[in-house]
Amino acid sequence: MWVQVPPSALMWQILVGTVGLLVYLYLTWRVLRNNYKEEDVAAFGWISLLTYLLGSRLAYGFVYWGVWAENPIKWLEFWKMGESNVIGGYLFWISMVWLVATDRGWKFFSLAEDNLWLLLWLNGVYFTVSEKWLPVLLLFLVALISRWLKGRYRSFVWYKSGRKGFLYLTANIIIFLGMSLIYSNIYYIIPALICGVELGILGGERNS
């Protein structure tokens, strides 16, 4: 069933979405420019953003199958951020990061961790547009925890390798466990467990 979005809500979505996505592109350049070539950073910013937008839109269509049966073109209307699935967008986004890292010969976890703050911001924009405040609060808490851990995790005795990836995987664990509580969905625990196992493996590797 199609629900008409009030003009005020639509303006809110457009304003927050536009500003949020522009800030994402700026942060991509600001965060990655010191470790990667400028042309690679610019391309990554746009490609990652479009991947997230389209991925979240497609995921929404699959979750609510048939919602756009009368007009299949709506599958591609990725700018309608109020009709999107954040988890789907994230999965498309991280798959794209893996492909880019593989193609460029970069370390995946290093690239993923460098983009952690960007990903938190992008997810936060989507949840804000959808007016889902508990997930926004969760992401804010994860950002604070990640900030605190950033200069400390390499000194953890059990994390012998000290390699990048700790912040990214830990943030994912907290987010998925938090989402399982917010939405009372135990399936979110599965990716949290996967990240936990990967964190243990990564921490036990020799630092290179």
User: pLDDT value at position 98?
Assistant: 94
Helix, strand, or coil (residue 161): coil
Q: What is the pTM of this model?
A: 0.85
Convert the pLDDT of each residue in 54-71 to its tens digit: 999 999 888 888 888 888
- % of the chain residues with pLDDT over 70: 94
Of 34-38, 176-180, 194-198, least confident by mean pLDDT is 34-38
Residue 208 banded pLDDT, cuts 50, 70, 90: very low
For residue 10, the model assigns a pLDDT of 66
pLDDT digits (tens, 9 = 90+) for 137-173: 999 999 999 999 998 998 898 898 999 999 999 999 9
Predicted local confidence at residue 66, as pLDDT: 84
pLDDT at residue 9 tops 70:
no
Could you read off the pLDDT of 183-203 as tens digits, one per residue? 999 999 999 999 999 999 998
The DSSP symbol for 36 reads S
Per residue in 79-90, pLDDT (tens digit) is 777 778 888 899
Q: Where do the domains of the chain lie?
A: 1-108, 132-208
Going 128 to 173 to 118 to 30, the CA torsion angle's sign is positive
Res 119: pLDDT? 92
Answer yes or no: are the C-beta atoms of 199 and 158 closer than 8 Å: no
DSSP string, 101-152: HHHHT--HHHHHHHTHHHHHHHHHHHHHHTT-HHHHHHHHHHHHHHHHHHTT
pLDDT score of 201: 92
Half-sphere exposure of 200 (CA within 13 A, CB side): 5
**Which of 93, 95, 89 minimizes the C-alpha distance to 127?**
89
Please give the residue that has the higher pLDDT: either 4 or 117. Answer: 117
